[in-house]
Amino acid sequence: DIVMTQSPDSLAVSLGERATINCKSSQSVLFSSNNKNYLAWYQQKPGQPPKLLIYWASTRQSGVPDRFSGSGSGTDFTLTINSLQAEDVAVYYCQQYSTTPRYTFGQGTKLEIK
């Protein structure tokens, strides 16, 4: 199975500043046939289910604010949250879906306000 490793495990960022979360996969999730990275990001607020934020590594799900962006390719990916808002406090997970159905998630990154 592909292992997804996120860094850091937790971070604290001031309101209005930028938060950056990294995700590394143990093997490439890029399909050369369509040049797509099979990588998604989810946000989970306390007491709520996960919410899909980004898929194909950089495509925002409908309704997701544009301060959230995803980048990277192959094995290294980044979720960036610009102008951090109080409502962005959550745990963020990356997920690979390139080896369906053996989906695997990162261990999560807890984002707090400094």
Partner 1 sequence: EVQLVESGGGLVKPGGSLRLSCAASGFTFSTYSMNWVRQAPGKGLEWVSSINIGSTYIYYADSVKGRFTISRDNAKNSLYLQMNSLRAEDTAVYYCARGDGDYTPFDYWGQGILVTVSS
Interface positions with partner 1 (CB under 8 A): 38, 40, 42, 44, 48-52, 55, 61, 93, 95, 97-98, 100-108
Enumerate the β-bridge partners of residue 39: 96
Contact call for residues 26 and 2 (beta carbons, < 8 A): yes
Closest distance of CB 1 from partner 1, Å? 9
User: Count of residues for the chain?
Assistant: 114
**Of 75 and 98, which CB lies nearer to partner 1 in the complex structure?**
98
d(CA 61, CA 76) in angstroms, rounded, equals 20
**Of 75 and 95, which CB lies nearer to partner 1 in the complex structure?**
95
Contact call for residues 29 and 100 (beta carbons, < 8 A): no
Closest distance of CB 107 from partner 1, Å? 5
Closest distance of CB 112 from partner 1, Å? 16
**Of 16 and 101, which CB lies nearer to partner 1 in the complex structure?**
101
Closest distance of CB 21 from partner 1, Å? 14
Contact call for residues 8 and 24 (beta carbons, < 8 A): no
Q: Which two tokens stand for residue 45?
A: 């607020």
